[in-house]
Amino acid sequence: MSRYQEIKEYYQTLKDQVLLDLIEYEFMDLEPEAISALKSEILDRVMDTKWIKAIDFATQPMSEEAFALFARRVERQNCPYCGQSERPLSASLIRKLTGQVIRVYRDYKYILGCPDCIMAKMKEAEDHNKLKGWFAFPMGVFETLFAFFYHRYNRRLFTHGHQTRDFYRYLRVAKAKVYYQFF
């Protein structure tokens, strides 16, 4: 059995949401056979063919100028949460922690949206962290403080109109999802 067939059979066992998560977060690390099997599986499942275009876009090498143009185009889109386009889009990593005695459960997510919506998500995560993040000993306290200062730093960038490093990181990692979502 060929490597392509093995990968294809594996993808057939995955649920649609798991397949979309694979496209969003991990497909940049896939081998060419896996990418072609992924495209084939999308077509077999009669999923939106716009995902194929997004994968093709994301797998193409991109110069720094082209990436900067792509980032400017994304910044000008409407916010996916509130629909406003008054402020440029940005992204931030939201760190949500839940401590349980000696273990910390981490839920890190990139959020792409307008600064106001991102700051609201940060506030939710901070409230959650204040209640549940610090309970794990000894790392829960340190990770909760780090998450708090990380969110505070990004909030300061948003209030002064600066773009975060997370925006560019997110665009590089999730090019296919961003392309699918906005173009």
Residue extents of the structural domains in the chain = 3-59, 70-174
Which tens digit of pLDDT belongs to each residue from 75-123? 999 999 998 878 889 999 898 988 888 888 888 888 899 999 999 999 9
User: How distant, in Å, are the alpha carbons of 65, 97, 105, 142 from that of 132?
Assistant: 43, 7, 10, 13
- Per-residue pLDDT at 164 exceeds 90: no
Which pLDDT belongs to residue 142? 85
What residues contact residue 34 under an 8 Å CB cut-off, 6+ apart?
A: 7
- Per-residue pLDDT at 24 exceeds 80: no
Which pLDDT belongs to residue 33? 87
This prediction has a pTM of 0.75
Which pLDDT belongs to residue 65? 92
H or E stretch at 100: strand 90-100
Which pLDDT belongs to residue 47? 80
Which tens digit of pLDDT belongs to each residue from 137-151? 777 788 888 888 988
